[in-house]
Amino acid sequence: MGMPDARRRWTRDEVLALPDDGNRYELIDGELLVTPAPRLIHQRAVMALYDRIKPYVDRHHLGEVMASPADLDFRRGYSAQPDLFVLPLVGGRKPLDWRQCEVPIFIAEVQSPSTGRNDRTIKRPAYQRAGVGEYWIVDPDSRTVERWRPEDQRPAVALDRAIWQPNSALPAFELDLAEYFAEVWGETPS
């Protein structure tokens, strides 16, 4: 099978029928996004963020932290596979099937050379329109985090600490970027 034609409008069923060939296929606003397997640094960044955010989400009963592969639809005909996301509880419990999932309250995409354009120009506005509570673009190379909320026209760029506060009644989740990126890059603490 040759590479899919990304210029036409794809349907969710067509994307779900694509082969399991090591690529990640996503559908956002009818556009097919194809990305190769991520590099090791990318995966380490996803897992290090997961390890830090999961205790916060669990402690405050916010939902469930997940990582791709996934099949999030947002009830918009999508097949989204964010790197890391927090699903809200549905009826007071964790969803049991992708079809039960509500719009995530948090999504993080770890930028890599092959995903930067899609993360900023396709996924970001789609996630904002869908009402994702907060969207982070984590850049291991520049050691920064872009923070987007649904109403934002430009990001808040975190250089020292990235902060997420899904509810004003809760303490904020704070990510120390120096410590986080040191782990991502395998650096020993000084």
Cα of 128 vs its chain's centroid, Å: 12
pTM: 0.86
For the stretch 162-180, pLDDT in tens is 999 999 999 999 999 999 9
For the stretch 7-31, pLDDT in tens is 788 998 898 888 888 788 888 888 8
pLDDT > 70: what percent of the chain? 95
Rounded Cα gap, residues 57 and 164, in angstroms: 11
Residue numbers of the domain that contains 119: 38-184
For residue 137, being part of any structural domain is answered with yes
Take residue 164 and report the two structure tokens written for it: 């997420």
Count of domains in the chain?
Answer: 1
For residue 158, being part of any structural domain is answered with yes
For residue 113, being part of any structural domain is answered with yes
